[in-house]
Structure formats: structure tokens, C-alpha cells
């Protein structure tokens, strides 16, 4: 087996609360994960987390596209008033690295994803799943089909969809492939990305999509970056996966990671593409994925989360 061994459950229950409390004090995902009318009122200023010399005054036009309060899924998936401060029992995060394509035998993979990971309807406990950077869903036998939250890096909006300056239908179709989900975009990290992020939101609204678009709050991202810098992790920018693993540490009781393996060789020794759907490498001047992975491993062995690397 290529699993990292499962952590002891007693360790899980005793280790996670201090992590949650520590991150809550510095970052407070329950209040600041997404930009809302509640935490970003009319006339206030948004400070871009990657470009702090730039500020954006909140106008009435911006305010009206923001949700009223922090929200996360409830069992019926239609709440517009539930706060992120609800502690959710299970959180599954699906990374995009190539190792995930070898995670399950193909004959068993789709059933296992659908039954174990994503089928929350009818259960008394909510299961939340997260995918990163608008990944391909052309491989349901490996990665399942259902999603709760999908992050969208604005660079994807620019490269794949030309900033949505022309036709928006290709983006709408790509978004529709995830079903009813929530898209989370760092619209206020760099000033050059805000307009494309707005257009993504408008495109989904204009197409009568049942999905919703939210923007990372730069105050949360800057606080999280400072937290890890103070703990010795000096990176130009945290990856979206690392950001939401940290949010999950505050918001979820049990966390499982799949497809987080940022290396070119499988644990077996054979070569892997960087993602399960392409071999586009991250910019090493921006992200330090192997270092992030060492923190996941440390969290796993301290019982904070479960990190799955091989077949189930």
C-alpha cells in the first residue's frame, strides 16, 4: 500500500482543536474567508493581499454583488444565511496532482468516490468536497463527479477564457460541468484580476446558473500568509490548496486529502504528470509545493488530517 498510515483517532480529537483555535485567532475563516456585505461595508477599503499598496473603495455596485453574510453548504444546499462558523463533520479535498489517477482500481473508483466521498444526500452529517483551479472532470472513474466548492485562479480566466472579454459561453459550459457548486475566486489579490473575476460572476448570473461565485477575502489570505511566515514557511504565495486546507482546519472536524502529491514520480517509482489532466507545472517562483506537502505529512502524523497517496 502507498497510504500514509491512518492517524490514531484519539490523536485526531486531541490535536485538531488547538490548530483550529490558533488559526481562528490569526485568520478567522468563519468571519473572513469570503468577501461579504457584512465584513466589507459600503465605503470601506479592500486592500489587495499580494499588492498591499493598492486599495479598492467599496462602491454600491460592488456591494450589491456580494453575499450578505458568510455562507457554506447546509444539507439542503440552498442556504444563503448560514455562517461559515458552523463546524462541518467531514471535509474532503481533491487535489489535482497526477498521483490521483492511480489512486483506485478503475473498476472500483467511480463507485467508491460517489458512495464514500460525495454522496451526502440523505445522511445526517454534511460531507463537503473541494476541488482546485477549475480542474477537468473528464476522468470520473478516477476523481468522481460531484463538487461542493471549486476554486478558480484568475490566471485560468485569462489563459483559458481570454479574461471573459469576448464570448463567455465556454466558461459557462466549463462551470456547468461541476453541477450545482460554489466557485471561490481570489479576485482581490492582484488589481489586474478583479475585472475578470467580476465577469466570471456576471457570466454565471446571466446564464441563470444554480452555482454561486464568491471572492476570497484578502484580509484572510494576508493573515494566513503572515501566520505561516511567522512559523518559518517563507513562500511568495500559498497555493489555493494550502489556503483551503487551513480553512478546513478551522471549519471541519475531519479532513481527508486526495491527490496531494507534488512530485514527478509515483511512490511506486514510475513517472507522473503534474496534474491528472495535464502536465503544466506551477511557477516555482510563486509556489513551493513540496514544502507545503511536508506540512501535510506533519499534520497527518500529528492526527490533524488524513493524507491519502495510493489506492483505497
C-alpha cell at 41: 461595508
Contact by Cβ (8 Å): 100, 141? no
Residue ranges of E strands in the chain? 45-47, 55-57, 88-94, 127-131, 149-151, 182-185, 212-215, 252-258, 306-308
Please tell me which residue in 88, 274, 275, 287 is annotated as part of the active site.
Answer: 287
Instruction: Quote the CA–CA distance of 101 and 272 in Å, as a whole number.
Output: 9
User: If you count them, how many residues does the chain have?
Assistant: 312
- Distance separating alpha carbons of residues 6 and 64, to the nearest angstrom: 45
- Three-point CA angle 256, 261, 263, nearest 5°: 175
Query: C-alpha grid cell for residue 283?
Result: 511557477
Pairing of strands 55-57, 45-47: antiparallel
Q: Within 10 A of 21 (CB to CB), how many other CB atoms are there?
A: 10
List the grid coordinates of 293: 506537502
Maximal C-alpha separation, the chain: 56
Asked if 134 contacts 150 with a C-beta cutoff of 8 angstroms, the reply is: yes
Judge whether 125 and 89 are in contact, CB under 8 Å. yes
Q: Which three cell numbers stand for residue 162?
A: 481570454
Residue with cell 493524507: 307
**Is 229 a known active-site residue?**
no
DSSP code per residue over 160-206: HHGGGSS--HHHHHHHHTT-S-EEEE-TTSSGGGHHHHHHHHHHHHH
Give the residue numbers annotated as catalytic, written as ranges.
Answer: 287
Amino acid at each position: 500500500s502507498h497510504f500514509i498510515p491512518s492517524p490514531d483517532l484519539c490523536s485526531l480529537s486531541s490535536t485538531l482543536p488547538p490548530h483550529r483555535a490558533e488559526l481562528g485567532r490569526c485568520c478567522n475563516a468563519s468571519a473572513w474567508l469570503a468577501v461579504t456585505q457584512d465584513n466589507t461595508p459600503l465605503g470601506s477599503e479592500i486592500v489587495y493581499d499580494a499588492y498591499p499598496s493598492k486599495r479598492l473603495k467599496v462602491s454600491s455596485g460592488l456591494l450589491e454583488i456580494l453575499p450578505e453574510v458568510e455562507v457554506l453548504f447546509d444539507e439542503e444546499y440552498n442556504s444563503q444565511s448560514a455562517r461559515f462558523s458552523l463546524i462541518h463533520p467531514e471535509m474532503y479535498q481533491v487535489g489535482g496532482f497526477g498521483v490521483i489517477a492511480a489512486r483506485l482500481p478503475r473498476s472500483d473508483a467511480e463507485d467508491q468516490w460517489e458512495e464514500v466521498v460525495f454522496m451526502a444526500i440523505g445522511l445526517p452529517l454534511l460531507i463537503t468536497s473541494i476541488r482546485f483551479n477549475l480542474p477537468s472532470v473528464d476522468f470520473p472513474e478516477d476523481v468522481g463527479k460531484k463538487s461542493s466548492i471549486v476554486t478558480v485562479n484568475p490566471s485560468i480566466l485569462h489563459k483559458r477564457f481570454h479574461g471573459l472579454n469576448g464570448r463567455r459561453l465556454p466558461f459557462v459550459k466549463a462551470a456547468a460541468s461541476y453541477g450545482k457548486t460554489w466557485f471561490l475566486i481570489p479576485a482581490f489579490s492582484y488589481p489586474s484580476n478583479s475585472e475578470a473575476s467580476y465577469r466570471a460572476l456576471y457570466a454565471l448570473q446571466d446564464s441563470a446558473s444554480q452555482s454561486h461565485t464568491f471572492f476570497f477575502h484578502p484580509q484572510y489570505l494576508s493573515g494566513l500568509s503572515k501566520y505561516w511566515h511567522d512559523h518559518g514557511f517563507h513562500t511568495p504565495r500559498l497555493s489555493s490548496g494550502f489556503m483551503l486546507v487551513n480553512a478546513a482546519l478551522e471549519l471541519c472536524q475531519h479532513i481527508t486529502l486526495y491527490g496531494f502529491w507534488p512530485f514527478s514520480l509515483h511512490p511506486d517509482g514510475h513517472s507522473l504528470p503534474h496534474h491528472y489532466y495535464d502536465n503544466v507545472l506551477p511557477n516555482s517562483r510563486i509556489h513551493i509545493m513540496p514544502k507545503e506537502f511536508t506540512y501535510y505529512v506533519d499534520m497527518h502524523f500529528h492526527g490533524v488530517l488524513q493524507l491519502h497517496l495510493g489506492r483505497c
